[in-house]
Every structure is written in structure tokens, then in C-alpha cells.
Amino acid sequence: MRNLWLSEWKTMTRQRSYYLFLILWVLVFSLLFLLERNNAGLSSFTNVTGTIVNILLYLLPLFMLIIGSFSITNELESGQWKLLCTYPISIPAYFFGKFAGLITAQAAVFTFSFGISMAIGLTTGIQLSLPWILGIYLFSLLLIYVFLILGLLLGTVAQTRWKALISSVSVWFFLIMIWPTALIAILGLVPYPMIDPLMKLAMVLNPAEFLRIFLIIQWDSGAIFGGSYDAVVHLFQSGAGWGMLIGYMIAYLVIVFSVSILFLRRRRFL
């Protein structure tokens, strides 16, 4: 598994596009931090924080879905997957190795650019609080984590890069862009007593939504969700909140990986 991780890391970090991400993140964060220069300081959920969270929610999932799915379909198309099938390597090891390489590379480039932007922000006089910085950073890393895993799953289903791109954009559009509208539309159709459990189910089904709600609640701004989320706010603010997040992430990894491995087994022809 270590060799797969290393190979994925080298392949990723030697691509020019990898450094384009670095420039993109530095540019986006620096501009957002500079936007807040005249405000008192970034320490909780403000309109600027909301903008940053939204931009992260738009960009990170799309990029990660495409990177994850391409990483698999590229190997299916290039013949590397077939060649690897002639080696004594298990599919879970292959999958974990690839995932480890991808997440290391993406987390590294994100961390680096976040650091540069922060330095730029601090030199221009912005006041940043540590919980706020850590909140945004952790939120971003978890978005990278969940959408890379989902991207890998899409890669195992799609046979070509073109199909992977279409499915990545479709999933992104559904989970990120259309989700709130779809949720309101569906909730308008169901009887009133079902709204509350359906909203909670929807939150669990969409990892981006789960992370967004969790982050905002951790910043003591859970009130913006209204009364329907009172129980969730209470739960996430209690001692069990972080345990739930960890449990959710582990369960998500196990479920999505298991499905992906099933698909890859079928791709091995035997």
C-alpha cells in the first residue's frame, strides 16, 4: 500500500495542474481575507465567514470529485488498472493506497496555500482568531476527505474520464447547488410531522450539509437554522458532538469504500 501511496503522491505533485490549485487557493483566500480588512476581526460566523464557507463549499467538492474520479478512470483508460490486476495486490490495498496518496497531496497543497494567504492577511493587518482559523481549516480538510472518497467511487462506476467528469459535475450540482431548493420543494410536499425527521435524514445523507451545519453550530451560530434544528444544535454542542463527527466520517469511509471495492471487483472481470 505504501508504494501505491508514494506513486500517487509523486504523480500528483509532478503535475502542473497541482500548482495551479496552489495559485487558485492563495488567490481566493487572500482576496477573502483582504475583504475583511476593515472589519473588527474574524472570530465567529459573519457575512465574510459565510462567503468563505460558501466558496469552499462550491469549489472544494467539485475539484475533489473530479480529481478522485479521474484518478481511477485515468488508470482504467491507460491500461494501468489491468496491468496492476496481474500483480499480487488486493483491491482494498489498491484503493486505500490511492486514497492516501490523493488526500496527502490535496491536503498538502491546501494547507500550504491557506498558510500563505493567512500570512498575507496578517501582514496587511487582519485580526484572525485561532478557533476561526482552525474551524475553516478543518472544515476544508473534511470537505477534501469526503468528496475525494465520493470521487473515487464515481471513478469506479464510470468507465472513461468523460463519463467521470459528467458524473462528478452532476453529483456536485445535486449535492451542493440544488440541494437546498430540492429540500424545500420536497419538504413542501410531505405531511408536517415528517418534515423534522426528513430534514435530519437529509443532513446525514449529504456530507457537505452535515459539515456545514456542524461548523456553524461549533461557531455558536446554530440559531440561524431555526427551531427545527434545536435538537441537532444541542447534540452538536454537547460533548458528543465531536464524537458524532468522527463516527460519521468513519461510517462514511467504510460505506463508500465498500461499495467502491465491490465495483472494482467487477471491473477485474473475475
Binding residues for another protein restricted to 117-176, rule: CB under 8 A: none
For residues 212 and 169, what is the distance between their CA atoms, to the nearest angstrom?
20
The verdict on 87 binding another protein (CB under 8 A) reads: yes
Please identify, among the stretches 165-173, 206-214, 253-261, 262-270, the one whose residues bind another protein according to the rule CB under 8 A: 262-270
b/e string for 214-236 if b means 16 or more Cβ within 10 A?
bbbbbbebbeebeeebeebbeeb
CA max distance for the chain: 63
Single out the residue of 39, 51, 54, 78 in contact with another protein (rule: CB under 8 A): 78
Nearest C-alpha neighbor of 24 from the set 58, 1, 47, 48: 58
Which range touches another protein (CB under 8 A), out of 47-55, 75-83, 98-106, 181-189?
Answer: 75-83
Spatial contact of 92 and 256, defined as CB atoms under 8 Å apart: no
Q: Which of 32, 58, 217, 41 is nearest to 114 (CA)?
A: 32
Q: How far is the CB of 156 from another protein (least distance, A)?
A: 16
Ranges of H-type helices in 36-129 = 47-78, 80-84, 91-123
Q: Which of residues 53-72 bind another protein (CB under 8 A)?
A: none
- Cβ pair 199, 179 in contact under 8 A: no
Side-chain-side CA neighbours of residue 265 (13 Å): 8
Cell of residue 185, nine digits: 420543494
CB of 3 to another protein, least distance (A): 4
Rounded to the nearest whole angstrom, what is the least distance from the CB of residue 99 to another protein in the complex?
17
Number of shown-chain residues binding another protein (CB under 8 A):
21
Among 38, 40, 88, 181, binds another protein (CB under 8 A): 88
221 is an interface residue for another protein by CB under 8 A: no
83 binds another protein, rule: CB under 8 A? yes
| Closer by beta carbon to another protein, 88 or else 193 | 88
Q: Is 86 in the site for another protein (CB under 8 A)?
A: yes
Footprint of another protein on residues 20-49 (CB under 8 A)? none
Footprint of another protein (CB under 8 A): 3, 6-7, 10-11, 14-15, 77-80, 82-83, 85-89, 268-270
